[in-house]
């Protein structure tokens, strides 16, 4: 009985401790748009904000086209995908080695794609650091169980490894370079999901970087971590905000909860834009995952169920977003090129952060891009995944033991690129 009383007492204390996690609640009404403390409100906006789409996105795109030498635009969108981010990172490095990688005027990132986005924005000079951070060794220990900690804070795994991973590469040098390139009119946009509003929030990372100092470093890091914090897997990120009359705390999580990737804010797909704003733009989309998978028995364990569920969500949302993006590109006369991890590749899912597996996926992305087997059209990508012969076994073999499929993407004539001032 004494043991039972102690157990019940411990349980009561734990539950009581859970209720001590406090947040400053949002006011019932707001007279002005809230901003992260110490920043202006224009560093971010909701993807469904019509004023922002019209006044910010369109005007900035027009300005960027005006200052380019040939008035062309190059846009890169990086999707979520957890450990699949190694593919996108490798693809960018291989694209550089092929010698055809343009300077991207706009880079957008979601989740794992958000972590890659600053490197993609800063260009091939940062490829060595992209390799070092995303080829496996630095992410192998991402999933550290929280055990009893789940009773005190949400999330099955510690977020310290993810925070440290991001904090290590968000250096003063990176912040300065992002600010410098943003001053030329280029855009680095990262999405998070604001759970309180249940909306996609788009952050202008160039404006955050331009703020400078420790505040810029911390917010830059927190936005990237929030964008990659899978709900239920990692704890959410709390971002204090304020307006003219109040201060409160917002809860931000993985952008993939609301959008798999984005070329433009959501409303841009339906609002009428100047038809000349995007005409002839070259749009590149890297899906850091697969758009389909072979049937297989799901093991009855938490990691497998989480991973397969997360994969299913990513696949279905990515396919839907690809369809919307394709229509958007056709509407405004843009050149759309896509890539994704082929169904035939033995990808073990977004939560399999094994160093050797990540290294192989990174190298695969490099090889496909370097040989010109990376970019394809929507029609070709769908056909490739539909016509894959018996898929390669997804058994978790030791590094180097699994056969790798040849790059199935047919080399395409690349759209013209431009040299930037």
Please list the pLDDT of the chain residue by residue as tens digits (421 residues): 443 343 333 333 333 334 444 677 766 655 567 899 999 988 999 998 888 777 777 777 777 777 765 667 899 999 999 899 999 999 999 999 999 999 999 999 999 999 999 999 999 999 999 999 998 776 667 665 554 444 445 545 678 889 999 999 999 999 999 999 999 889 999 999 999 889 999 999 999 999 999 999 999 999 999 999 988 788 899 999 988 778 889 999 999 989 999 998 888 888 888 877 788 999 999 999 988 776 777 777 766 776 677 677 778 888 889 999 999 999 999 999 999 998 888 888 777 888 889 999 999 999 999 999 999 888 777 666 555 544 444 444 444 455 566 674 554 444 444 434 3
pLDDT at 350: 78
Best CA proximity match to 237, nearest among 188, 189, 195, 202: 195
Mean pLDDT over each residue of the chain, to the nearest integer = 81
Three-state DSSP state, 238: strand
What's the CA gap between 75 and 261, in Å, rounded?
A: 12
Best CA proximity match to 237, nearest among 199, 299, 192: 192
| pTM of the predicted protein model | 0.84
Alpha-carbon torsion angle 194, 336, 289, 177, nearest 10: -60
Spell out where 176-246 has E strands: 187-194, 199-204, 237-242
What contacts 24+ positions apart, CB below 8 Å, involve 370-373? 370/94, 370/95, 370/97, 370/98, 371/98, 371/407, 371/411, 372/98, 372/411, 372/412, 373/407, 373/408, 373/409, 373/410, 373/411
Residue 400, burial from CB neighbour count under 10 angstroms (0-12, 13-18, 19+): exposed
Query: In the Cβ-directed half-sphere of 199, how many Cα atoms lie within 13 Å?
Result: 15
Q: Which residues pair with 228 in a beta bridge?
A: none
What contacts 24+ positions apart, CB below 8 Å, involve 387-392? 388/342, 388/343, 388/344, 389/344, 391/294, 391/343, 391/344, 392/344, 392/345, 392/346
- Tell me 317's DSSP state: H
> Contact at 8 Å (CB) between 414 and 375?
yes
pLDDT at 145: 54
pLDDT at 10: 35
Q: Which residues pair with 169 in a beta bridge?
A: none
Q: Which two tokens stand for residue 166?
A: 């991001």
> Contact at 8 Å (CB) between 356 and 86?
no
pLDDT at 135: 85
Three-state DSSP state, 260: coil
> Contact at 8 Å (CB) between 92 and 77?
no
Distances (CA, A) of 124 to 149, 210, 220: 41, 22, 21
pLDDT at 181: 95
- Tell me 159's DSSP state: S
What's the CA gap between 101 and 144, in Å, rounded?
A: 37
> Contact at 8 Å (CB) between 116 and 311?
no
384 membership: H or E segment, kind and range: helix 378-386
């Amino acid at each position: 009985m004494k043991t039972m009383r102690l157990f019940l007492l411990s349980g009561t204390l734990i539950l009581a401790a859970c209720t001590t996690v406090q947040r400053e609640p949002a006011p019932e009404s707001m007279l002005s748009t809230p901003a992260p403390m110490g920043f202006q409100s224009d560093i971010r906006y909701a993807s469904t904000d019509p004023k922002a789409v019209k006044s910010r996105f369109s005007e900035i795109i027009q300005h960027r086209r005006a200052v380019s030498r040939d008035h062309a635009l190059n846009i890169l969108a990086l999707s979520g995908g957890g450990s699949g981010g190694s593919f996108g990172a490798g693809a960018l490095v291989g694209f550089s080695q092929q010698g055809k990688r343009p300077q991207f005027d706009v880079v957008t990132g979601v989740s794992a794609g958000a972590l890659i986005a600053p490197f993609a924005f800063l260009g091939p000079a940062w490829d060595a650091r992209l390799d070092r951070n995303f080829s496996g060794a630095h992410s192998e220990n991402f999933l550290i169980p929280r055990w009893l900690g789940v009773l005190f804070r949400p999330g099955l795994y510690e977020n310290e490894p993810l925070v440290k991973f991001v904090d290590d590469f968000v250096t003063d040098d990176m912040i300065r370079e992002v600010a410098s390139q943003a001053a030329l009119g280029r855009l680095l946009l990262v999405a998070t999901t604001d759970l309180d509003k249940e909306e996609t929030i788009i952050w202008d990372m160039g404006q955050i970087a331009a703020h400078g100092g420790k505040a810029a470093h911390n917010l830059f890091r927190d936005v990237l971590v929030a964008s990659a914090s899978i709900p239920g897997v990692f704890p959410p990120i709390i971002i204090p905000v304020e307006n003219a009359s109040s201060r409160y705390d917002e809860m931000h999580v993985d952008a993939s909860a609301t959008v798999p990737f984005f070329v433009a804010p959501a409303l841009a797909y339906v609002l009428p834009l100047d038809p000349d704003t995007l005409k002839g733009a070259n749009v590149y989309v890297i899906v850091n995952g697969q758009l389909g998978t072979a049937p297989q028995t799901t093991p009855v364990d938490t990691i497998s169920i989480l991973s397969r569920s997360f994969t299913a969500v990513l696949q279905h949302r990515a396919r839907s977003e690809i369809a919307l993006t394709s229509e958007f590109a056709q509407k405004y006369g843009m050149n759309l090129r896509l890539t994704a991890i082929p169904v035939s590749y033995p990808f073990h899912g977004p939560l399999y952060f094994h160093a050797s597996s990540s290294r192989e996926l990174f190298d695969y992305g490099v090889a496909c891009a370097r040989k010109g087997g990376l970019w394809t059209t929507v029609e070709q990508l769908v056909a490739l995944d539909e016509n894959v012969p018996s898929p390669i076994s997804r058994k978790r073999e030791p590094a180097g033991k699994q056969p790798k499929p040849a790059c199935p993407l047919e080399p395409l004539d690349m759209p013209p690129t431009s040299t930037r001032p």
